A = this chain, B = another copy of it.
Amino acid sequence: MEHLDTALDESCIIEEGSTSTGRMGRRSYDDTKEHKSKNLHAERRRRQKLSDRLLKLRALVPRITNMNKATIIEDAITYIQELQKNVKILQEQLCELEVEASSEVGEINPASKVKVEAAEEMKKSGIQVEVEVTQIDRDKLWVKVIFEKKRGGFTTLMEAMSAFGFEFINTNVTTSKGAMLVSSCVKGIYGEKLAVQQTRELLLQIINGVDQSNSEYC
């Protein structure tokens, strides 16, 4: 803003003062050709680059009302908003269905004995359910989870976290004495800043959903 004012002001002054020399600089051709031609080329490239980007953007947006620059960006904005809304809705629907599916599986799955066994063995060994979330970057988290070893428990955890927009950089799973330890480096799939506490609660809910198939974690 200050740049704008200053620039305007200065250009104005220059215009005033240098009107005699002329803005086009008719007399100094060599000077203009030297140090302005570079700027000219650079500016040309910059414009072309920006135009290309705009073209790509236009190619990505399905609904375009007009070919204008501003309208292209506007359509892109509305499209992004639509996409974000869609993702949100889809995540919710997916979560609902997952809860239903997990509850059904929990009823039918004959692995309940395994789970009970695992829980007993885990308890006997003094291993506690544990969730630990540490921020290691702006959009990366390190996650450590200990819970009762159960058929499909790992898969459920992975899928639930994927549904909530996490991307797995690396995952390590170890099972011992009826417990399952999952330590993972995850990344927000949109590059958004991740909330540690929120993620922790989410994980707890997921684990509870894994342990007792009737709870909902939406």
Q: Would you give the shortest CB distance from A1 to chain B, in whole angstroms?
A: 7
- A interface: dominant SS: helix
Question: How big is the A interface, by class?
Answer: 35 or more
- A184 CA / B168 CA spacing, docked (Å): 18
Q: Does A40 contact B (CB under 8 A)?
A: no
- A69 CA / B52 CA spacing, docked (Å): 12
Q: Does A130 contact B (CB under 8 A)?
A: no
Tell me if A93 and B53 are in contact (CB < 8 A). Answer: no
Give the interface segment out of A31-39, A103-111, A115-123, A201-209.
A103-111
Q: Does A154 contact B (CB under 8 A)?
A: yes
Tell me if B105 and A163 are in contact (CB < 8 A). Answer: no
B contact residues around A163 at 8 Å (CB): 90, 93
Q: Using an 8 Å CB-CB cutoff, how does the interface string of A172-191 with B read, 1 for contact, 0 for none? A: 11110000000000000111
B contact residues around A172 at 8 Å (CB): 170-173
- A22 CA / B190 CA spacing, docked (Å): 57
B contact residues around A54 at 8 Å (CB): 73
- Given A50-B70, A80-B79, A87-B90, decide whether A152 and B151 contact each other with a Cβ distance below 8 A: no
Q: Does A19 contact B (CB under 8 A)?
A: yes
Binding site for B on A (CB under 8 A): 1, 4-5, 8-9, 11-12, 15-16, 19, 22-23, 46, 49-50, 53-54, 56-57, 60-63, 69-70, 73-74, 76-77, 79-84, 86-87, 90-91, 93-94, 97-98, 100-101, 104-106, 108, 139, 151-152, 154-155, 158-159, 163, 165, 168-175, 189-192
30 A-B residue pairings within 8 Å (CB atoms): A5-B5, A8-B8, A8-B12, A11-B12, A15-B19, A46-B70, A54-B73, A57-B77, A57-B80, A60-B80, A61-B80, A63-B191, A73-B73, A76-B76, A80-B80, A87-B87, A90-B91, A93-B159, A93-B163, A94-B97, A105-B108, A152-B155, A154-B155, A168-B175, A170-B172, A170-B174, A171-B173, A171-B174, A172-B172, A173-B173
